[in-house]
Structure 1
Amino acid sequence: MLMIPKFKAAHKLRKPSGRYAVGCIHLMFEYTQKEKDEKKRLIPCLCFYPANQVDEGTLKKYVSEQILPGTEGIETNSYLNAPISEGKHPLLLFNHGYSVYLEANTVQCEELASHGYIVLSIGHQGEGSYELPNGEVITMDKDMQADFLVDFSNDKELFPNYATWLTKEGTDATFEQHYTKYKEMMDSQPRILAHMDVWLQDCLVALEMLLNPTEQGANLVSNHIDKDKIGAFGMSYGGAAALGLTHSCDLIKASANLDGFYYNSKWSKPFSKPTLMMQHDSMQVGPHLTFPFLNAEHDSYLVTVKQSTHNNFTDYTDIMAENEIQKIVIDEKEVEFKVLGDIDPDKMQTIMNTLLLDFFNKYIHGSDSRYLDTDDSLDDVILLRK
């Protein structure tokens, strides 16, 4: 969950490095969660894709002012409804962080699209804010958010205590000790795990409907998807969803997590598909992806980005006008921390874009890795391989 800072008055998002122009369309799917439900659940989506060269067209506004006030001066690189590039393209499912919006990692979505990937950013009704294809804006459901947060209010010291253990005893702990500590975390978060089950169902429905479209808008991209090359990535809670999809969907070949604590009812099940896990190095949560990394049975990479915070893994790195200070209470003491870490914003975006592209090129496209498996490491990165 993210606070709302001050944004740059006039700013163009980082230019993608790939050879394709970037197209973008709004999509919306819906389904009935239970047989007797009268009301359908909406799945708002935003699809980025490799487009034909665009001489002129309408650039998508970054995000609706109703969703994120103060962003009217921010311009994307995505052309609305641009013609998609011919041929088949790999597909990546993206999930945003809890309580935010489809555009929260536009920089990464545009970068991947410019290199030939179709990226479907998936929304979750009631747990984010979204602009629908007809221009209507839907926002957070307060009751759903309260239900999600009940576990946090029951144990406010949970994360600080776990972070302290990870950075002290956890550095030399056995796998069994990590397992025990992680089980304590998961056992204390039943409502959050239940919400994750719904997010995963949203993803599976959205994927099915995109691959077998019934609406005209989805046809624009569905016929260009290479169904043998599908992956997933996400940020924060959405990063946990991306990892979870490796267990719940055979079509997903590889998943990447941008700083998301791994909430999942199947948290103890080892990963049998390639995973990339990236985390910050501040004490907000600690090295929280250690256990999921240790629990991987397939190729896995654990990346710690020095001088970063949780918010650095979103577009906030690119669009904030200035860093800000937040206050939290740890062990009954008020602690101040910066919203963004001290890492250079351009370097942070380079790290995320480069490693995501390198990872998916290897495990979705079948190309050789340029960074993850070589000694050409990036600055301010600690990389562990498994």
Structure 2
Amino acid sequence: MRTYEVFPAPVGSYTVGRTQMDLEYMASDHSTRELTAFVFYPSDSSEGKATSSYMFPEVYGMLKDQPLVTGYLTGGYFSIEFKTRCYDDLALSAKDKRYPVLFYVCGGGGSPEWGTVLCTDLASLGYVVVSIGHPNSTMYKRKDGRLYNVSKGFSEAIIALSEDPEMQALAGKMEMRPDDDTAVQMCRNVLALPVIAKVTEYSELQAEDIRFVADHLYKLDAGELDSIFNGRLLFDTGMGIVGHSYGGLTTAMVCRDDDRFTCGIGLDSGAFGLLDSDLKKPFLLLYREPNYNMNAVIGANNSRETYYYSVDRVAHLDYCDIVFTSANEVLRGERDAMEMRNVVTDYTKTFFDYYLRQKAASVDSLAYDGVDLVKKTRNK
């Protein structure tokens, strides 16, 4: 398997800036949520700066304290000695007056830096992309230096789901490419399990975090706070959101509950907490088999179009930076890292270009070996 020491050059023409913001607010459960957010954005010059560091060593070091990781993997996980393709605190590009906004949601137990390749690609194409560190369910370092690891409660909720006898029994019955009725019933059976409820609570809090950060971006655009984004963010056609794994649940919840978001993408995610939800937004699922069984209710309920694309020869973590950084072959699928990156970036940017920028080309026009449109739904 080919190894890399630098992330790929961005697909777009913009130089990519990155800045970090610390935020906090009182959530609906009366907890204080202390967040961090990395914002990737288009710029015109690197200003002679060195590229941004990839991931804080202190954050990587917290992996050894995560039961989610230590219970299933041994040895090295991935490298953080990677050269990125973005630069800290550049000026926002002057080429356009305003830039559309996207959010990226990392997987549970992950870090907001884990989507650096995709966020950099999207920013190089003219999007402002926000990746948040969520309390309890992700690990991160704030600008003020404080470290946050995955909580014991979140770890226990995810482990309980994976070890639940009813969940294991259902997983053993999941078919590859099932017919629609079978897939929908399987998905409903999974989502009705009592063990799902606790997992869903954390995702709902992540969705609340995203809505709060979206509020903050509106304030930055309005000039209520000093920022390079004053008057520069394009909200007229709404915002987009993409999430990997556990982050995909949050993505769907945000689409369902916040009309400021126009469309969303789930990368090898599921539908926990979405049993009877009409997202009312275009939604794309890019996944490995047999994950249709875990997402079938989304398209069955959604009154807007839902795309299901199956990708062969991939592993679950191939949808994030670990496709490049992995130091453990157990984490990787069979596709070359560059090939997989091109699949994820192309489907993501084409989907958002179509629904946010009203560009003519849609994901229907894309063709990759082993990437198959399993189903496209639109309910009236």
- 1:300 matched to 2:290: no
Deviation at 1:188, TM superposition (A): 3.6
Query: Within 5 Å, which residues of 2 pair with 1:234-253?
Result: 234-253=243-262
Q: Which residue is equivalent to 2:70?
A: none
Q: Which residue is equivalent to 1:351?
A: 343
Q: Which residue is equivalent to 2:123?
A: 113
Q: Distance in 2 between matches of 1:163 and 1:355?
A: 28
The CA deviation string for residues 46-70 of structure 1, in whole angstroms up to 9 with x for no partner, is 1001112224113111101122257
Q: Which residue is equivalent to 1:95?
A: 105
Deviation at 1:73, TM superposition (A): 2.2
- 1:177 matched to 2:185: yes
Deviation at 1:272, TM superposition (A): 1.4
Q: Distance in 2 between matches of 1:148 and 1:314?
A: 19
- 1:19 matched to 2:28: no
Q: Which residue is equivalent to 2:134?
A: 124
CA contact (8 A) 2:256 2:278 kept: no
The CA deviation string for residues 250-309 of structure 1, in whole angstroms up to 9 with x for no partner, is 100000111111222x4312231111111113x6x6642233233322122111110112
CA contact (8 A) 1:210 1:218 kept: no
Aligned letter for 1:15? A
Aligned to 1:385, the other structure's residue is in SS state strand
Deviation at 1:132, TM superposition (A): 1.1
Aligned to 1:255, the other structure's residue is in SS state strand
Aligned to 1:267, the other structure's residue is in SS state coil
- 1:30 matched to 2:20: no
CA contact (8 A) 1:170 1:178 kept: no
Aligned to 1:303, the other structure's residue is in SS state strand
Aligned letter for 2:52? K
Unaligned runs of 5+ in 2: 62-77
Q: Which residue is equivalent to 1:133?
A: 143
Unaligned runs of 5+ in 1: 1-6, 325-338
Query: Which of residues 191, 195, 203 is equivalent to 2:198?
Result: 191
Query: Which of residues 265, 276, 296 is equivalent to 1:268?
Result: 276
- 1:211 matched to 2:200: no
Aligned letter for 1:107? V
Question: Kindly tell me: are residues 30 and 55 of structure 1, through their superposed partners in 2, closer, same or farther at Cα, counting changes over 3 Å?
Answer: closer
Deviation at 1:222, TM superposition (A): 5.0
Q: Which moved more, 1:51-60 or 1:299-308?
A: 51-60
Normalised to the residue count of structure 1, the TM-score between the two structures is 0.84
Query: Within 5 Å, which residues of 2 pair with 1:5-84?
Result: 11-33=5-27, 37=30, 40-68=32-60, 71-84=79-92
Aligned to 1:308, the other structure's residue is in SS state coil
- 1:220 matched to 2:228: yes
Aligned letter for 1:96? C
> Which is richer in strand?
1
Query: Within 5 Å, which residues of 2 pair with 1:226-375?
Result: 226-228=234-236, 229-264=238-273, 266-281=274-289, 287-321=293-327, 323-324=329-330, 339-370=331-362, 372-374=363-365
Q: Distance in 2 between matches of 1:218 and 1:72?
A: 32
Aligned to 1:116, the other structure's residue is in SS state coil
Normalised to the residue count of structure 2, the TM-score between the two structures is 0.85
Query: Within 5 Å, which residues of 2 pair with 1:139-150?
Result: 139-147=149-157, 149-150=159-160
Deviation at 1:378, TM superposition (A): 1.2
- 1:162 matched to 2:170: yes
CA contact (8 A) 1:163 1:288 kept: no
Q: Distance in 1 between matches of 2:315 and 2:309?
A: 13
Question: Kindly tell me: are residues 379 and 142 of structure 1, through their superposed partners in 2, closer, same or farther at Cα, counting changes over 3 Å?
Answer: same
Deviation at 1:234, TM superposition (A): 0.7
Q: Distance in 2 between matches of 1:360 and 1:58?
A: 30
Q: Which residue is equivalent to 1:334?
A: none
Deviation at 1:156, TM superposition (A): 4.1
Q: CA RMSD in A?
A: 2.6
Aligned letter for 2:41? Y
Identity across the alignment (%): 20
Aligned residues: 355
Query: Which of residues 347, 355, 380 is equivalent to 2:370?
Result: 380
Q: Which residue is equivalent to 1:328?
A: none
Q: Which residue is equivalent to 2:67?
A: none
Q: Distance in 2 between matches of 1:130 and 1:302?
A: 31
Deviation at 1:218, TM superposition (A): 6.9
CA contact (8 A) 2:255 2:281 kept: yes
Aligned letter for 1:364? L
The CA deviation string for residues 68-125 of structure 1, in whole angstroms up to 9 with x for no partner, is 2573421111100010113211101111100110111111100100000000101211
